[in-house]
Amino acid sequence: MIALSTSNNQDITPFIERIPRPARTSHKGQNGRVLIIGGSELFHSAVLWSAEIASHLVDMVHFASTEQNNEVMTRLKTQFRNGIVVKRTDIDAYIQEDDVVLIGPGMVRDPNHSPAATPLCASLSEVLKIENEGIQTAALTRYILATYPDKKYVIDAGALQMMDPEWLLSLKQPAILTPHQGEFARTFGTHVEELDLKEKAQKAAEIAQKFNCVVLLKAVSDIVTNGTDTYIIEGGNAGLAKGGTGDILAGTVASLYAKSDAVAAAIVGSWILKQTSEALYNTSGYWYNNSEIIAHMPRILHGISTKSKV
């Protein structure tokens, strides 16, 4: 178990060096394409936060939500001009085109539905006919993972809570899971809130090893583990307790994963969010908001990238 502190930029250097910088000769698409599937009739801001931060970090962001939420997103195009809204009926084509799929921000769950009972639908159209939005979350997650096992995935929020972890075993590349402690308990049946940091890290590592994934367990100190190597990211402040910071983190990690490995993407994503919160504290205390985080994170990433290159 290795501790990494935001107070020491040298800690992040080995991982930031694993995040490729855009080449001078690169053209559109070569620096990452991300598909974000999320949102619901109840939640629309979550997936927008994920899309906003992703638009800073990759060449192309595709956004697919419910029909109602796509209408919201289209109206927001006067403010959000950095991505493309696509219909959920078209996500098969965009999954094949994009480097990473982030699924889950703003998607709802059905507490009465067992993920293990979710049928494997034969087509996307069959999934979208499911009227119960929580069960559709589960069915869509299963369909995508089973149909496109070669893709890179970041699984967050509603999709994570409605997922059977066994679905991960068919994937050819490790998915990154981004649970907070409550979601970790709901998804894996293991409560970690009352455990000390070492015990939490051990439980997260066991899950990562069992399901061949990378776990980014969000807590006061974040834990990133692939089951073999485990890292503790220390830093940040209480301003990150605000709703939506997890959606920003998921969008960041997905964007970094487009052209890097899963562990580096998870570590650097956690790091720059925490260091951003520290920078904003200097001017706003704990009273910064998600828009300020999104605006400031690229400066933090640029700063540590430049220092690591020297």
**Beta strands at 60-64 and 33-37: parallel, antiparallel or unpaired:** parallel
| Distance (Å, whole) CA 219 – CA 222 | 5
Q: What is the pLDDT of residues 32-63, one digit of tens each?
A: 899 999 876 655 677 788 988 999 999 889 88
Q: What is the pLDDT of residues 162-173, one digit of tens each?
A: 999 999 999 999
| Distance (Å, whole) CA 73 – CA 47 | 10
Q: Are 64 and 36 in contact (CB under 8 A)?
A: yes
Is the full-model pTM beyond 0.95? no
Structure tokens, 244: 């939506």
pLDDT at 79: 52
Q: How many CB atoms lie under 10 A from the CB of residue 55?
A: 20
Task: Tell me the three state secondary structure of residue 226.
Answer: coil
* The residue count for the chain: 310
| Distance (Å, whole) CA 81 – CA 288 | 23
Residues in a beta bridge with 217:
223
pLDDT-derived band at 108, boundaries 50, 70, 90: confident
Sheet holding 33-37, edge to edge: 2-5, 230-234, 222-225, 214-217, 176-177, 152-155, 100-103, 33-37, 60-64, 84-86
